Structure 1
Amino acid sequence: MKRAIFMVLFLVSCAESRGNDYQTAMDDYTANKVQAIIRTHVIPAAGEKPGEIIAAVSSAFLTTPYQENTLIGSTEVSEVLVADFHGVDCFTLIDYVRALSQAHDQKTFLSNLISTRYVGGRVSYLSRKHFFTDWSATQPLNATDVTRQLSAKAVTVVKQLNRKADGSTYIPGLPVIARKISYIPAHAIDSAVLDKLQTGDYVGVWTPLAGLDVTHVGIVIKSGGKVWFRNASSLKINRQVVDSPFTDYMASKPGIIVLRPH
């Protein structure tokens, strides 16, 4: 049986002024969980550092099933502002966590979700922040890139985001974006880097593949003297949001990009 989705038309004044009318898809389960997370994880953490609030909020998603393709929109289908807590992938997880961490009710959560997910706050498929480094390179900024501050061994390259090796694009209609990107190679993730990581940092797994910046994202959690990578894992053994030992997880990966929340 397909899960029923409660559809509402959510028109905010700033969207209307830009002619950006859109629909919001959010069912009762998600709406109730938004309120519960704000009440039990955001409000009690008021005054804490942004990273600590992110840690608290993201803990509410542990064991949430992994589910991809939950967003609605393409070059042929009108974009819908989707909030769906029944299942998350690695990107929607950090979308929801950031939006919730700065919310005080459902309305501000949805407003924050727009600014988190879309360039210029415009709800459209081509305005989505499709790449992890969009979070620190496009307005409104979601975080600051601190990768080079964490290691003198960070490597900087220029990538043509959205352009595949064969010259075609991953997202038709989206321009190719020339972007300078820094990453820390896996072999350089030493104790000094781990010490400089902070709870709540957003980490992307760097990829050398043409046209992409990362293949996976998650959140740094420091607890009990250990460093964890909180992520929506697609691995068959997990298929849910889990905490993975950071160094073990990254040992076989090409490297990391680190963005720090404001």
Structure 2
Amino acid sequence: MSMAIPFVREFVPRYGEAERLTPLIRRVLARNPGPFTFAGTGTFIVGNGASVAVIDPGPDDADHLTALLKAVEGETVTAVLVTHGHADHLPLARPFAQAVGAPVLGHAAVAPDTVLGDGDEVRGDGWTLRAVATPGHATEHLAFALPEENALFSGDHVMGWSTSVVSPPDGDMDAYMDSLERVIAGNYDTLWPTHGGPVTDPLPFLEALKAHRLERDRQVLDQLVHGPASALDMVPALYAGIDRALWPAAAQSLLAHLVRLDRRGDVIAAGEPSAATTYHLRG
């Protein structure tokens, strides 16, 4: 049985204001709470004054744009960074960047002004942001390390309040697990997810996430011992304790595990991968 994940769910939302978190980090929270965004999208401002970077400007929301512009008033924004292209992270990047006269930086898939790859660095006055390729939740997902505070802006790859959705075909469980190992190897002091509060004791949290995914692999195989089944068939047994409204997302996560197990040769699909596709044990 996997260890319990020490989720971080205590979080007091302060919408529309620039909340000072550390000497180098502020956060402005968008008012877009939901089952996949927790209290909302946290846009991070890194640095002070002469050159600041903004990470994940967030959803297409006029009030959030106004709050971000107010937060950096009198400062020079030199970089707008995006972790990935989902609708709660990317849409405001271009309008905000145009308003402050700064370039958008990120993976090629988000159509930035400057493409960032793994290990690329962006520097400002007193800060450095280094791109860390972390595909899995999304193919193009980048996290950003802040060496000056030994911290990582983990986007949606690692969230303190919940496990991340890994939804094929863009989401990939093998890639997710590889990325998790990269974050573990980074030995960061703090993780700053885009949604929710920080993870301040990352190693046991990350090890628990890893154990949880491996346990889910085993649970899927155990389900198939009883006969062929699809991800949709397995959801009631494996996600009995969650809101039924989240079952479709849960089915996608199970599909990601099934695709991973198919690659390993443990299971065989009866057709093209989908939540309704039947799988059976090999041999």
| Interval containing the TM-score (normalised by the shorter chain) | under 0.3
Greater Rg, structure 1 or structure 2?
Answer: 2
TM normalised by structure 1 equals: 0.27
Q: Tell me: higher relative CO, structure 1 or 2? Use CA pairs within 8 A at least 6 residues apart.
A: 1
TM normalised by structure 2 equals: 0.25
